[in-house]
Amino acid sequence: MSKFYLNIFLLAFVTTFSMYAQPGFTGQEMRGIVGSISKRIAEDSLNVGLRISRLDLTFNSAIDLHTKGNVRDENGEKLYSKMSYLGLSFEELMDDINFLIHAEQNGLDGIKGVKYILRRGLMNFYLGNYENALDDYMKALVQVEKDPTLKDSKESVYKHLAIYYYNLAKHESVAVEQNLEQSLEYVEKLSTIELNYKATEMSKQYMDRYETWKEELLTTFHYDERLEAYYKVLLKEQYRFFTYRYKYYLKYYNKDTDTDSDRYQSNRFFKYTLNYANKLAILYIKQNRLSEAEYIVNQCLKYFPQTKSGYILDGYSVNPFYYTLSSVYRTDSRFDEELDALINAFSMAGGRIQFDLIELENYLNEKLVDHPKEPRLYLLLANCKVNYSISNHLEYREDEILNLLTKAEKLGYKKAQLYYLRATIYLHSKDSQYKKGLIAIEKALKLDSANPSLQLLKYYIVRRLPSLTKQHNQFLTMFNNYDQPEIINNPDISDFINKITEN
């Protein structure tokens, strides 16, 4: 085999190996490969392919973009163990990087770009040489801004700089505010539609991969106007992509071949749009713009996919909206409406709650001091405890939950939500109390007979009864033949979007 083909084979082997290698139990094999490459480099030190192979295998397993800087061991010595266990010294690693930077800058073997100078910057950051790291990143920045052919590398440079400043602030506590501001500057360069255009086109969904990061930084500095403008952009773009997908769905809709997945995708994009509207409402609450926040959330609830009878079946997706509505009422001192909104947030959510249950439970306990005879507080506390346990895979105390529900009932609360929760507790009881569960769900159905979620819970309970009556069998037969309620999906909300996003 010729030297050229041997190098190609080795490079392909190393690339494949590094993709699947798992540090911790393949160290010996990796050391063997690194050792083999190092021997070949000693014989042919100018071989670019071998240098790339060794660096890719060692660097990728040692350092990533989010590695903390100035890593040291318990004795305060700088830590190189992640490299040394591969049988490669720090000097050899840095020599590879500098060699490839030279190749990069001189176009050797077709290498061009800023990949390796960025790696040296990462290495310097890892070692705590922050000024050297920044110097490398700035050199890379100058190159990509000067050379039009390196346009595709801009995103990588901006990302390195954004993370550099963010890590200095968050992990090293160095000039926190100043560095977070610098991080935000580069995040905003990253979160442009142009840089994410390919990802957006592939998914037909507006994508800003840096959304969470940018949102955190704008919130940290209370840049409310900029955050509001950002949410409005996300909201408009998401709705634009939803309409694109929905028109495609309607164009090719066939009732005989249409699948749940097709409908789900359309609904999912529509709900994403509403989620951005909800974020805007939460921001308005913080700004005390309560009437605007209340309008947005109520409109979202009106537009949410629901049955013809007005039931929203997706309790998981809708509960944050009711929680936001409760926050409007709490801020506006409308206690009755706040409690009703919280109860709706919990209704039929099945333990999949998207807000802080510990914080809410503490708040409810505080309110009980002033309102010891308010039955809804006991129902809400029961919901908090059950949902927290389910969300965290913990066991809840059945007696505690049932006692809270009994208190609420004795104080006059006799609505379907209470009996639904009681029936749920009996259904999952260790003592298999299905008959008690059936009594509870029947009470709920007398109050809300058309509710499909209540019907479903009754079905689960009846199936588990030790013996079935003729009436039970009739119910199971009816339920099994029952068509899923038709959902009214995806109304035209363009006027609503335009209204809440206008300047």
- pLDDT bucket at 480, cuts 50 / 70 / 90: confident
pLDDT tens for 449-473 read: 988 889 999 999 999 998 888 888 8
Q: What is the mean pLDDT of residues 237-252?
A: 75
pLDDT tens for 275-299 read: 999 999 999 999 999 999 999 999 9
- pLDDT bucket at 63, cuts 50 / 70 / 90: low
pLDDT, the chain, mean? 82
- What does the pLDDT read at residue 283? 98
Report the percentage of the chain scoring pLDDT > 90. 41
- What does the pLDDT read at residue 2? 41
Specify which residues 78 forms β-bridges with: 72
Least confident of 38-42, 61-65, 392-396, 425-429: 61-65
Q: What is the mean pLDDT of residues 103-127?
A: 82
Would you list the DSSP string of 293-348?
A: HHHHHHHHHHHS-EETTS----HHHHHHHHHHHHHHHHHTT-HHHHHHHHHHHHTT
Report the C-alpha gap between 143 and 150 in whole angstroms. 8
Say if CB 468 and CB 479 are below 8 A apart.
Answer: no
Specify which residues 487 forms β-bridges with: 307
* Predicted model pTM: 0.79
- What does the pLDDT read at residue 264? 55
Amino acid at the residue 256: D
- pLDDT bucket at 222, cuts 50 / 70 / 90: very high
Tell me the HSE value of 283 on the side-chain side, using a 13 A CA sphere.
23
More confident site: 188 or 224: 224
- What does the pLDDT read at residue 193? 45
- Examine the pLDDT at 245 and tell me if it is beyond 80: no
- pLDDT bucket at 240, cuts 50 / 70 / 90: confident
Would you list the DSSP string of 106-167?
A: HTGGG--SSHHHHHHHHHHHHTT-HHHHHHHHHHHHHHHHH-GGGGGGHHHHHHHHHHHHHH
Nearest CA among 287, 240, 313, 234 for reference residue 486? 313
For each of the domains in the chain, give its residue range(s) and CATH number, in order of start: 3-190 (1.25.40), 195-355 (1.25.40)
Amino acid at the residue 191: S
Would you list the DSSP string of 92-104?
A: HHHHHHHHHHHHH
pLDDT tens for 297-342 read: 999 999 988 888 888 878 888 999 999 999 999 999 999 999 999 9
- Examine the pLDDT at 31 and tell me if it is beyond 70: yes
Backbone φ and ψ for 72, nearest 5 degrees, come out as -135, 160
- What does the pLDDT read at residue 73? 45
- pLDDT bucket at 255, cuts 50 / 70 / 90: low
Report the C-alpha gap between 357 and 391 in whole angstroms. 10
pLDDT tens for 406-430 read: 999 999 999 999 999 999 999 999 8
Q: What is the mean pLDDT of residues 483-492?
A: 72
Q: What is the mean pLDDT of residues 38-56?
A: 87
Q: What is the mean pLDDT of residues 68-82?
A: 50
Report the C-alpha gap between 326 and 489 in whole angstroms. 25
- Examine the pLDDT at 7 and tell me if it is beyond 50: no
- pLDDT bucket at 122, cuts 50 / 70 / 90: confident
- What does the pLDDT read at residue 385? 93
pLDDT tens for 127-162 read: 788 999 999 999 999 999 998 888 889 889 999 999
Max CA pair span of the chain: 89
- Examine the pLDDT at 196 and tell me if it is beyond 60: no
- Examine the pLDDT at 441 and tell me if it is beyond 70: yes
- What does the pLDDT read at residue 86? 62
More confident site: 179 or 82: 179
- What does the pLDDT read at residue 250? 65
- Examine the pLDDT at 18 and tell me if it is beyond 50: no
